Each structure stands twice: as structure tokens, then as C-alpha cells.
Amino acid sequence: MAGWQWILAQADGAEAEPPADAGGADAGGADAAVDGAADAAGAAAGGVDPANPDSLSAAGEAAKQDAMNAWDGLMSGDVGAAMPLFEKYLFPALIALAILIIAYFVGKFLSRTASAPITRRVDATLGKFIGKLIFYAIMIFALLGVLGRYGISVAGFAAVLAAAGFAIAMAFQGTLGNFAAGIMLLVFRPFKVGDVINAAGITAKVDAIDLFTTTFDTPDNRRIIVPNGQIAGGTIENISFHTQRRVDVTTGADYSASIDETRKALEKAAESLGDKMIQGEGRGYQIVLGDLGDSSVNWTVRFWCNAADFWGVKEALTRAVKMHLDEAGIGIPFPQMDVHLTKSDD
């Protein structure tokens, strides 16, 4: 201020000594102004750090003070006193809410767009999982963007989430293991909904594959829910994966029976189900002389059919083998026990 007074005195023609510290004072004021602006910019850039209790406390006190000032102004009839409260809190909150609503609808649209072709062409469960993954990823990014836009430190927020996530992971190790196994089942797809599999000690039809469990329906209409970790950690046999299956029926014949006659009888049994047989290379039927057992000559009839007809063909082929062996007069040995009684003279 002293520097400006000397300049005005010179303009009026008055004589005045220039202040000795005018330049230093002006320079000091300018430096102070620059330092203050820098501090304000740093504070604005830093925002509120959720991991710092002092930062949260300061932000809460500032909001409380603004609210009290607005209330005092309104009580005294000054409506304009509430405008800073609207500008600092209400308007940004409305904008943040609008951004989250838009992100919600965009996430829903993109999740449906991405999951629909996967559901139609690959698997319904995998399509549902991809859709949820896209939706929640968009919502998380939108939330983090809003927090960073309005001065809340995303880095501190991420640190808090990481600490909480570590604690949750330690508490739910088994559950998270089932979740990881569910991801593997959905990505690598060793089976799908509708398949009949043998896994975790059960043989049943898959009804649903979720992120944590898999639901089965047994042939006798029981519902079984198995954790995914037990399925992924063991051997999985997909019984219905192929559209064609081979039926094996093993039988025995008397040692006194002719080998050729027995083969002919078994061939007639297989040919009697010709309408169920699949022709082609490596298909059809085969009559295999297995081994010479303790009391019988063992044979195996191998018959190829559609997987959907497996159990019906197995029963029909077993019946045909028995009937054609009986017609040929060939007996099927069965275990016998001879008991010898000895009478003692005593």
C-alpha cells in the first residue's frame, strides 16, 4: 500500500520519498499470495482422504459450520445465506446422483447386450455371469469417478477397501475358494446345465451352475446342492457329453458249450436290436471272447446306440442275450457250493 501512495503523490506534483521497503513489501505480499494460492490448490487437489481420520474430521466440521451459518441466516430472514450450502453440497450431490443413475442404465444396457449372444450360443449361466460382471464394473468405475471428481481421495478409499477385503478374505476362505472354483467352471465349462455328470461322489443331472454352488437333480428326483470347490477339486466325468454311447453286456457260458455256437447266439441277440444300432466305422456291435473264468467262458456284447437310448438298450440287450442263449441250449453257470457231511463214530 505504501508504494501505491507514493505513486499517487507523484502524480499530484507533491514531493514524497519513496518508501524504503516498498519493493520488499510488494514482493513479500506477492509471494504470500502465491503461497496461499498454492496451499489452496494443494488442499483442493488432495480432497478428503477416507484413510485419514483428521481429514474426515475436518471435512465434517466444515460441513457442520456451513450448515449452522445457513440456518442462522435463514432464521434471520437472509435467504441468500443458504446459497453456499446449496452450491457446495446440494448441487454436487444432485450431479453425482445423476451420474450414478446414468451409469446404472448404461450398465444394464451393456450387460444385456453382452450376455444375450453368450446365453444363446454358449451357456445361460456363463451369459448371466458376464452380464453381472460388466454391470458391476461400470458401477464401481462410476462411483470411483464421482468420488474423485468431488475431492474424495480414491487412493485412500482403495486402501480402505483393500484392508477390508483382506479381512473378509481371511474370514471366508472356504467361500472364496468355492467362488474361484465357480469362475473356473464357468470359464472352462467341463459341463453345462442339462448334462449328466459324475462328480463329488454323486451321479446326477446338472440343474444350475452358480458362483458358489452347483445344483443337481438325481434320477429319483432328489435335489442336491454341492459346493463348487468339491467339484473342481476332484475328477469330473461328463456322462452325457457325447451323443453316442456303447452298451456292454457281459455273460458267461458253460465250458461244454461250443465257442462258435455261443458266438452265433450272441450275434443274433445283438442283431435283434438293429433299429437301435448306430452303423459306421467303429460302431455297430462286437462279440468279444473275454476270458476263461473259474466256472464259465466269459463273453462281452458291445452295442453302439444313441446316448438318449442307453438304459433302454442295455435292458433290451440283456434280455435278448439270455433268451438267445436259452434257445441255443447254452447254459449260464452260476456259483455253487457243495457241502459234505461226515458222520463221526463217536
Note whether 123 and 189 are within 8 A (CB): yes
Residue type, 176: L
Q: Kindly state whether residue 166 falls inside one of the protein's structural domains.
A: yes
**Predicted confidence (pLDDT) at residue 105 exceeds the cutoff of 90:** yes
Range with the lowest mean pLDDT among 53-67, 238-252, 298-312, 320-334? Answer: 53-67
pLDDT at 289: 96
Whether residue 162 is found in the same domain as residue 204: no
DSSP 246: E
pLDDT at 35: 42
Residue 196: which domain range? 189-238
**Residue 265 maps to which CATH number?**
3.30.70.100
Whether residue 160 is found in the same domain as residue 124: yes
Q: Which of 288, 292, 287, 298 is nearest to 332 (CA)?
A: 298
251: number of Cβ within 10 Å? 20
Q: Kindly state whether residue 263 falls inside one of the protein's structural domains.
A: yes
pLDDT at 32: 41
Domains of the chain: total: 3
The residues that bridge with 202 in the sheet, in sequence order, are 199
Note whether 295 and 254 are within 8 A (CB): no
Q: At 231, which helix (H) or strand (E)?
A: helix 228-232
**Predicted confidence (pLDDT) at residue 39 exceeds the cutoff of 50:** no
**Predicted confidence (pLDDT) at residue 24 exceeds the cutoff of 60:** no
**Predicted confidence (pLDDT) at residue 178 exceeds the cutoff of 60:** yes
Q: Kindly state whether residue 31 falls inside one of the protein's structural domains.
A: no
Whether residue 222 is found in the same domain as residue 164: no
**Predicted confidence (pLDDT) at residue 5 exceeds the cutoff of 70:** no
Whether residue 128 is found in the same domain as residue 164: yes
**Residue 112 maps to which CATH number?**
1.10.287.1260
**Residue 216 maps to which CATH number?**
2.30.30.60
Q: Kindly state whether residue 52 falls inside one of the protein's structural domains.
A: no
Confidence of residue 36 (pLDDT cuts 50, 70, 90): very low
Confidence of residue 47 (pLDDT cuts 50, 70, 90): low
Q: What is the mean pLDDT of the segment spanning 324-343?
A: 87
Confidence of residue 323 (pLDDT cuts 50, 70, 90): very high
* 77, three cell numbers: 430472514
Whether residue 308 is found in the same domain as residue 274: yes
Note whether 130 and 114 are within 8 A (CB): yes
pTM (whole model) above 0.75: no
Q: What's the CA angle centered on 189, arms 187 and 192, to 5 degrees? A: 130
pLDDT above 70 as % of the chain: 70
pLDDT at 129: 78
pLDDT at 273: 95
Give the pLDDT confidence of 149-169 residue by residue, as tens digits: 776 766 666 677 777 777 777
Whether residue 145 is found in the same domain as residue 204: no
